[in-house]
């Protein structure tokens, strides 16, 4: 394989890895939303929204039923409807940091680019229960960034990264957030990222591609060995088609959840990677139209990505 083909394949795998992370999330952080939430009943592993609504009507004091309803509504992108269900759940099932984090994120999603007091309150309550709760730690740093304390936000994200095992679902997005906020605000992050020492999980080499070069060598959560072998058998045109399919999937998710600011940024990045600058420009326009309060950030991110 010549150097150009290798570079193209690595670029595609990097794009694929990033999109795989996003495909399973509703925001930049792919935290385990099941943590701290009551388990589903044996009656149905995946009940419909209507069934969950019937369950809370039949058992209005059942905190587990309210938890499942709130999470299902959140996953569907109906954040406004998820809030009262999650609030009820936190009352009936107290002491669940993951549940409080989900409630805080729902408030943040509804606010579209601002950090409302209700979200901060939920994140603070979650951290009072579990000071290591990653989603709440991330969003508290987001709050700093939104108030102009970019250095404080980056410092907090670096601390979170230092406690994040390599390969964690949110690791790549967390690194990207640190890099992007640093670049936009002219804060050096490459050296600081290189100095971060993360705890190593068991089997840390499984399913990772280590990309070397540049200011650091970092594990990028890429496809597993089987996926790599399958991709290697594809022609360059098939590889590009696979990348476009992933981008199309991301676009569909953004239609369902247009408040996903990092998702729009990832879409712009992906379009530029695929050498589709006009589509990246269209993504920027759509992102601003859906999130006027985040216009400054979106435009700054676009400039960093050299979107026309």
Q: Which of 80-94, 165-179, 282-296 has the lowest mean pLDDT?
A: 165-179
Q: What is the pLDDT of residue 158?
A: 94
Residue 107 makes CB contacts below 8 A (sequence gap 6+) with: 83, 116, 118, 119, 122
Q: Which residue has the higher pLDDT, 30 or 153?
A: 153
pLDDT digits (tens, 9 = 90+) for 183-218: 888 999 999 999 998 886 544 443 333 322 222 222
3-state secondary structure of 131: coil
- pLDDT tier at 224, thresholds 50, 70, 90: very low
Q: What is the pLDDT of residue 260?
A: 80
Partners of 62 in the β-ladder:
none
Q: What is the pLDDT of residue 252?
A: 84
Cα first-last separation, the chain: 33
Instruction: Report how far residue 12's alpha carbon sits from residue 243's, in angstroms, rounded to the nearest whole number.
Output: 7
Q: Which of 44-58, 64-78, 108-122, 152-166 has the lowest mean pLDDT?
A: 44-58
Q: Three-state SS string across 10-78, please?
A: HHHHHHHHHHHHHHCCCCCCCCCCCCCCCCCCCCCCCCCHHHHHHHHHHCCCCHHHHHHHHHHHHHHCC
Is residue 140 within 8 Å of 156, Cβ to Cβ?
Answer: yes
Q: Which residue has the higher pLDDT, 11 or 302?
A: 302
pLDDT digits (tens, 9 = 90+) for 35-72: 444 444 444 456 788 999 999 999 999 999 999 999 99
Q: Mean pLDDT for the chain?
A: 75
Residue 145 makes CB contacts below 8 A (sequence gap 6+) with: 153, 181
The predicted model gives 255-278 an average pLDDT of: 83
pLDDT digits (tens, 9 = 90+) for 78-105: 899 999 999 999 999 999 999 999 999 9
Contacts 24+ apart (CB under 8 A), 44-50: 47/72, 49/73, 49/76
The predicted model gives 152-178 an average pLDDT of: 87
Q: Which residue has the higher pLDDT, 76 or 125?
A: 125
Q: What is the pLDDT of residue 19?
A: 42
Write out the two tokens for 66. 């309210």
Closest CA to 197 of 216, 212, 222: 216
Kindly give the pairing relationship between strand 209-211 and strand 218-220: antiparallel
Q: What is the pLDDT of residue 105?
A: 92
Domains along the chain with CATH numbers: 1-27+221-308 (no CATH), 31-134 (1.25.40.10)
Q: Is it the case that residue 227 has pLDDT exceeding 50? A: no
Instruction: Report how far residue 183's alpha carbon sits from residue 304's, in angstroms, rounded to the nearest whole number.
Output: 7
Look at the block and give the residue holding tokens 């696979």. 242
Q: What is the pLDDT of residue 61?
A: 94
The predicted model gives 251-266 an average pLDDT of: 83
3-state secondary structure of 219: strand
Q: What is the pLDDT of residue 250?
A: 80
Partners of 211 in the β-ladder:
218
Q: Which residue has the higher pLDDT, 12 or 103?
A: 103
């Amino acid at each position: 394989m010549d150097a150009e083909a290798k570079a193209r394949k690595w670029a595609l795998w990097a794009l694929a890895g990033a999109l795989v992370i996003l495909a399973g999330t509703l925001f930049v952080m792919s935290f385990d939303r099941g943590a701290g939430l009551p388990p589903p009943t044996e009656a149905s592993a995946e009940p419909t929204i209507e069934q969950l609504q019937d369950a809370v009507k039949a058992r209005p004091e059942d905190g587990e039923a309210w938890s499942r309803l709130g999470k299902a509504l959140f996953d569907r992108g109906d954040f406004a409807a998820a809030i009262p269900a999650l609030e009820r759940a936190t009352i009936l099932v107290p002491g669940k940091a993951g549940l409080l984090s989900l409630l805080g994120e729902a408030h943040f999603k509804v606010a579209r680019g601002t950090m409302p007091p209700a979200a901060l309150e939920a994140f603070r309550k979650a951290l009072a229960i579990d000071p290591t709760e990653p989603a709440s730690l991330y969003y508290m740093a987001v709050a700093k960034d939104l108030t102009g304390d970019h250095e404080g936000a980056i410092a907090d994200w670096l601390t979170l990264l230092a406690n994040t095992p390599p390969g964690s679902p949110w690791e790549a997005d967390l690194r990207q957030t640190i890099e992007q906020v640093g670049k936009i605000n002219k804060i050096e992050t490459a050296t600081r990222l290189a100095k971060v020492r993360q705890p190593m999980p068991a089997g840390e080499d499984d399913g990772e591609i280590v990309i070397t070069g540049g200011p650091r060598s970092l594990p990028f959560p890429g496809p597993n060995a089987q996926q790599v072998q399958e991709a290697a058998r594809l022609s360059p045109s098939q590889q590009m088609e696979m990348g476009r399919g992933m981008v199309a999937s991301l676009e569909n998710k953004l239609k369902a959840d247009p408040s996903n600011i990092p998702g729009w940024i990832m879409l712009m990045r992906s379009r530029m990677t695929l050498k589709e600058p006009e589509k990246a420009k269209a993504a920027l326009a759509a992102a601003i139209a859906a999130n006027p309060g985040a216009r400054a950030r979106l435009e700054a991110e676009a400039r960093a990505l050299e979107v026309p």
